[in-house]
Structure 1
Amino acid sequence: MLVGESNNKWEQIMRRRDKEIKERKEIDKIINRCTVCRLGMAKDNIPYIVPLSFAYDGLNIYFHTAKKGQKIEYINSNSQVCLEFETDIKLISDETSPCQWGFSFQTVFCQGMVTEITNKEKRVEALKLIIAHYSEKKWALDERMLKSVRVWQVSIKSWTGSSSKDR
């Protein structure tokens, strides 16, 4: 079930309604437990996906990049992106048939629009959120650090969750 737009292509993807995560609290928990998210982009009809460190504030995803690179080329070409989060991945095997193999997992898929954060205070705030996702220590961000990265925000338009835990 989508927590966001109701008439969306994502609804067509959720074939297995028995695995659907409907509770926003559960979707938030999955995202917050993840250490990596994957950002999917497209440019000139060519897909590109990359793993990212990130932060989540309940509405947006934040990440940083180098000053130049392929991610930026893709973002500049098409600001519509998707994100994937997964946790608790476990292979489930079967001694009698390879067709019975599968995975236990929890995953969230999001669609949204990415924009660069150029305001210095908002950039610092986003970077501190990213750092806080991985460390309880309060780190100082000096001007050299701030100048070495670009900071981005994905405004989530829709998301859906899926789980096959305890299969």
Structure 2
Amino acid sequence: MQYRMKKFQLTSEQIDELLHRADTGRFATINENGYPYVVAMHFVYYNEKIYMHGLPKGQKIDNVNRNSKVCFEVNELFGLLTDNIENACDTEAEYNSVIIIGNASLIEDLDYKRKILNKIVEKYTPQFAGKELPDNMIKGTAIIEIDIVERTGKYHK
């Protein structure tokens, strides 16, 4: 671990809080040619796992089916620290960030997919929470679950 990481590490509670409040995360997979593929995704952090939803076909789904090892990142930028700075190279950012490595899989159980989709609705469109989701929407939506192997968080203030 880098020295800076040891000095500016988020606590487990701070990591949990950021994962609950962040709106967007970056989901990284490995494509068929061995290159990283990163896409911004809405997500929920539930039962110590990351869940995302989307179309049941596409590069990210193909990548997960081929190689379950993934990375997920969230951050929040509060601003740039420029007071008493005379050189642009000395500017620093005030932020929190979390990096997760884990194994991704697709959820097939319809009842569990419904539960996760309801969690996503509660987070992003709470005005629709509690309304029944149509079965065809549940069946036609892919739910990606990341089983977390390791997570680290850092900050700078």
Name the counterpart of 2:104: 114
Matched, 1:82 2:71: yes
Structure 2 Cα separation of the partners of residues 15 and 37 of structure 1: 25
Shift of 1:144: 2.5
Q: Select the residue among 43, 46, 50 that pairs with 2:39.
A: 50
Q: Select the residue among 13, 26, 47 that pairs with 1:38.
A: 26
Shift of 1:68: 1.0
Shift of 1:77: 1.7
Structure 2 Cα separation of the partners of residues 99 and 56 of structure 1: 36
Name the counterpart of 2:3: 15
Name the counterpart of 2:81: 92
SS of equivalent residue, structure 1 residue 125: helix
In 2, are the aligned partners of 1:32 and 1:56 still within 8 Å (CA)?
yes
**TM-score, with structure 2 as normaliser:** 0.89
Report 1:117-156 matches (<5 A): 117-137=107-127, 138=129, 139-156=131-148
Q: Which is further off, 78-87 or 135-144?
A: 135-144
Q: Which is further off, 69-78 or 118-127?
A: 69-78
Q: What RMSD over aligned residues (CA atoms) do the two structures have, in Å? A: 1.5
**Amino-acid identity (%):** 26
Name the counterpart of 1:103: 93
Unaligned runs of 5+ in 1: 1-11
Q: Detail structure 1 runs of 4+ shifted over 2 Å in the superposition.
A: 91-95
In 1, are the aligned partners of 2:79 and 2:95 still within 8 Å (CA)?
yes
Shift of 1:58: 4.3
**TM-score, with structure 1 as normaliser:** 0.84
Shift of 1:93: 3.0
Unaligned runs of 5+ in 2: none
